[in-house]
Amino acid sequence: MAHSATSDAGMPTAHVPWYRVLYIQVLIAIVLGVLLGWYSPEWGKSLKWLGDGFIALIKMMIAPIIFCTIVHGIASIGDLKKVGRVGLKALIYFEVVSSVALLIGILVGEVIQPGAGFGADVTKLDAKAVEGYASKAAADSTVAHILGIIPKSFFDAFATGDLLQVLLIAVLTGVVLTGMGEKGAGITHAIDAAGQVFFRIIGLIVKLAPVGAFGAMAFTVGQYGIGKVVDLAWLVGTFYTTSLLFIFIVLGGIAAFSGFSILKFLAYIKDELLIVLGTSSSETVLPHMMTKMKRLGASDSVVGLVIPTGYSFNLDGTNIYMTLTTLFLAQAVGADLSVGQYATIFLVAMLTSKGASGVTGAGFITLAATLAAIPGAPVPVAAMTLVLGVDKFMSECRALTNLIGNGVATIVVSRWEGELDKTKLAEVMSHPVAIGTEISDEAPVGPGEDDHPAPKAVAAQ
């Protein structure tokens, strides 16, 4: 089995062996990691550093890439009214779809009742197991959350890697450069060039994705074991099923209205989905997603604004997780929630989900913050120990759903803005698997770089 690519004239230009295709490498690595963690847990746990190392390599590039992309996007538009318009449309879309995700989590939790009959004894819960998450959540009040967006210094945002802080300084920088005329144009060009360097570095790092996925999966299975999933299979299964329903019904409906198939879209980003599955972090594929959205027909300016902001404001999987898991824990400890408490869960989850950037564990911290904010504290934060063992397995689904939601959002906002190349969209969607494979072998395209024509339809042999 091999994959072929074509030139603009339609002639074959490359013949890629199956073992060099990224998504196949990642898939094999995931399977091997699961088997190793299952048969040799101690060895599997010892390989945690492989997954951590790969994510750390990616994370060190995310802040500068987002900064360069947003600054170039705003400055290249040159019209602050358009920047505001695109940003407002994106935020409206994010809030509407995020609200739907939260409501679906509540609805499924009430209908399925995954925690009913669990009969957890609150007095016997080990609060120390989640002490660290609870303390972080307690410090994250509404005021602290808002003030936390402001970095201690311009460069502190890059040092900490806080996406909301990077977004803030990037927007301010882009707005200022827009009004600086020729002087600003020179700085913008330099930032664009730096962005292209960062994207190409990511192109090198992502080749290590199979190694990172292997280490991460070996550790996860070795540390927590398949037995943990079996014990809470009803909750894990309900969450995965709910997320699939959201993807195929809600996002699928939005995609159909926007002129493309959600199934073909998933086939197009299969490489990124498998990397996220292996690492439980959607940040690992942020640059490649931006490249693929541009190749799909979305405009550079929309991609540069929507994808980075979506990583902080459009976390559909995290939203479903928070409301569904909160209801599971309430049912598990026998707590009856009032209408007011349901409303609080919804509003607090809407706030706390912002900034949970797709890194493993972020969803667990936001869950702690949501539980702590419910009036009367009917569900103690210590109840989180019930799902501590399976949270790692659920984080994969959170990250996958977040990634898909941001990809769909980019196409929708680009179409809404009248900047979607529908011809290119139709062409790429007609052969998503082959074209997706072709693109995965290239270095990611930088914020202002578009030196490759749209890929022609290709056929897999």
Q: pLDDT by residue (tens digit) across 396-439?
A: 888 899 999 999 999 999 998 888 888 888 888 887 776 655 55
Nearest to 414 by CA among 293, 314, 269: 293
Nearest to 51 by CA among 242, 284, 356: 284
Buried b (16+ CB within 10 A) or exposed e, 153-170: eeeebbeebbbbbbbebb
CA distances from 128 to 95, 133, 134, 380 (A): 35, 10, 9, 13
> Which pLDDT value is given to residue 448?
60
Identify the CATH homologous superfamily for domain 16-440.
Sodium:dicarboxylate symporter (1.10.3860.10)
Encoded tokens for 455: 């890929």
Q: Do 433 and 2 touch, CB atoms closer than 8 A?
A: no
**What share of the chain has pLDDT > 70, as a percent?**
77
Question: Which residues does residue 122 pair with via DSSP β-bridges, in sequence order?
Answer: none
The Cα–Cα gap between 318 and 326 comes to: 12
The Cα–Cα gap between 167 and 182 comes to: 24
183 three-state secondary structure: helix
Long-range CB contacts for residues 78-85, cutoff 8 Å, separation at least 24: 78/178, 80/175, 80/178, 82/301, 83/174, 83/175, 83/178, 83/305, 85/417
Q: pLDDT by residue (tens digit) across 246-257?
A: 999 999 999 999
Q: Where are the domains of the chain?
A: 16-440
Q: Do 4 and 14 touch, CB atoms closer than 8 A?
A: yes
> Which pLDDT value is given to residue 144?
67
> Which pLDDT value is given to residue 268?
92
The Cα–Cα gap between 166 and 171 comes to: 9
Contact residues for 367 (Cβ-Cβ < 8 A; gap 6+): 133, 321, 322, 325, 326, 384
- Residue range 136-164: average pLDDT? 72
Q: pLDDT by residue (tens digit) across 76-110?
A: 766 677 777 888 888 899 999 999 999 999 999 88
Nearest to 276 by CA among 216, 229, 355: 216
Half-sphere exposure of 215 (CA within 13 A, CB side): 14
> Which pLDDT value is given to residue 452?
42
> Which pLDDT value is given to residue 64?
86
Confidence of residue 6 (pLDDT cuts 50, 70, 90): very low
